[in-house]
Structure 1
Amino acid sequence: MAQDIEKTIIKKAKKGNKDAFEKLVMNYEKRVYNIAYQMFGNEHDANDMSQEVFIKVYKSLDKFNFKSSFSTWIHRITVNTCIDEYRKKKKNYQVESMDETMEQQDGTVHKQFVDKSLTPEEKAIKNENVRFIRESIDELKEEHKMIIILRDIKGYSYDDIADILDISIGTVKSRISRARASLKKIIKETQEQNINFYV
């Protein structure tokens, strides 16, 4: 969506135009859903979070002042909403494999790490590795998990992450570094535990 066109639509939505707001939802719903899915690992929570995000966007739209891009503003609401909810659910959280397929209104979407060229045996091994990495990521603190999702899974730039999280680029880099170090430690400890279990 071109910036000028989007700005016009936002202004209409701010005045209560429901069709304009629906256009904004349609433009951003997939991105919001994907971030929520990576955070929670299942469609039910991702759908719930998407609805919650757009309810907040609707209620807060009059506060949007065009100082940042609308994309950054929505992503910030998405990140904060997901982190808050994840903290509540963390104890009972169960993960699903990231490499399954999911049905959406616009057709089947393949999640991260799918490789159709693999043999069934290779897929089984890769699926197990993905599940292991996913579970390791889930052990991270909420802020570290989200920054790993934004940078290493979704591929956002440092600048984008700084805007979304409303922190400096230096803080982004140090947080990513700490998150990756924590993830490596978790993976190493889990692998050592598994080795000891089978010895």
Structure 2
Amino acid sequence: MNQTERGNKHSELIKGVLMKITKNKSDEELMQHVQEGAEWAFNALYERYSQRILYFMYKMLRQDEAKAQDLLQDVFLKIVEAPEKFDVKRSFKTWIFTVAANSCKNYFRAQKGGFLALEQAPELSTAPALIQVNSAAFKKQLNNALDELSYVYKEAFVLKYKEGLSLQEIALVMDCPLGTVKSRLSSATKLLGKRLAPFKASLFVD
């Protein structure tokens, strides 16, 4: 075994040990290690959350993958630069989604003309004629319909049905009462149901 092979084997061994260590640690415990300067703990959190945060931001940024990638790096850079801002007594999941949500809002506010009023509930564009059900078409139509929702309706819907956050967690991320979250989810699902009606109707067509 040459020196390069020994080095690779050693690296794999270290990686395996770290995976075992991090597997049984909570997000909050890992973040506490990050605050103490542990790079391995940061890497573990990045592994756990980077794809989820990227997907969330991609949806909120109207499917702009490049911008979602940019803001994703900003979110984790905040952790590197100021880990002490996180209170380890809080939920890391709700905290990082809050940081991500605020990054998206700040991006839109910085754009010329801003974005739709937060509480605005626009009429969705006219639904297309009855169409045959297939997963690709449905997914495309759902994404288009989501982009037509007001910002807060889309945010609540994505956090609940795409990211699996509880109503209480969504309330923390969106910084609003639980009742407001329920109301926004109800409005979002009704509007989406209207936009996706052709798919539902086609199920009953021979």
CA contact (8 A) 2:145 2:192 kept: yes
Note if 1:167 corresponds to 2:167: no
Shift of 1:176: 1.4
Quickly say closer, same or farther: Cα 1:164–1:181, change in 2 above 3 A: same
Higher strand fraction: Structure 1 or Structure 2? 1
Letter in 1 for 2:165: Y
Inter-CA distance 84–140: structure 2 relative to 1 (3 Å threshold): farther
Q: Report Cα offsets for 1:91-143 as digits up to 9, x if no partner.
A: 8xxxxxxxxxxxxxxxxxxxxxxxxxxxxxx78x4423322221121122211
Tell me the CA shift for residue 35 of structure 1.
1.1
- Note the alpha carbon deviations across 1:56-83, whole angstroms, 9 max, x for none: 2323421112232111111111122123
Helix, strand or coil: the match of 1:84?
helix
> Could you tell me which residue of structure 2 aligns to residue 130 of structure 1?
139
Preserved contact between residue 146 and residue 154 of structure 2 (Cα < 8 Å) = yes
**Match among 60, 63, 83 for residue 61 of structure 1:** 83
**Structure 1 residues 52 and 4: CA distance shift in structure 2, 3 A:** same
Query: Aligned runs of 1:1-199 on 2, under 5 Å?
Result: 6-40=27-61, 41-86=63-108, 88=110, 125-184=134-193, 187=195
Instruction: Tell me which of the two structures has the higher relative contact order, counting C-alpha pairs closer than 8 angstroms and 6 or more residues apart.
Output: 2
More deviation, 173-182/71-80:
173-182
Preserved contact between residue 31 and residue 42 of structure 2 (Cα < 8 Å): yes
Q: Which residue of 2 aligns with 1:117?
A: none
Contact 1:57 1:74 in 2 (8 A): no
Equivalent position amino acid for 1:76 in 2: T
Which amino acid counterpart does residue 161 of structure 2 have in structure 1? D
* SS in structure 2 at match of 1:65: coil
Tell me the amino acid that sits aligned with residue 34 of structure 2.
A
The question of whether the paired residues in 2 share the 8 Å contact of 1:159 and 1:169 is answered with yes
In structure 1, what residue type is equivalent to 2:56? I
Maintained 8 Å contact 1:33/1:47: yes
Q: In structure 1, how many angstroms separate the alpha carbons of the residues matched to 2:33 and 2:160?
A: 33
Residue in 2 aligned with 1:116? none
The alignment partner of 1:67 has SS state of coil
Larger Rg: 2
Please, which runs of 5 or more residues in structure 2 have no aligned partner? Answer: 1-21, 114-131, 199-206
SS for the counterpart of 2:180 is helix
RMSD: 3.3
Change (3 A) 1:57 1:143: farther
Q: Say whether the 8 Å CA contact 1:14–1:62 is kept in structure 2.
A: yes
Q: CA deviation at 1:49?
A: 2.2
Paired residue total: 160
- 1-side partners of 2:71 and 2:89: how far apart? 25
TM-score when normalising by structure 1: 0.64
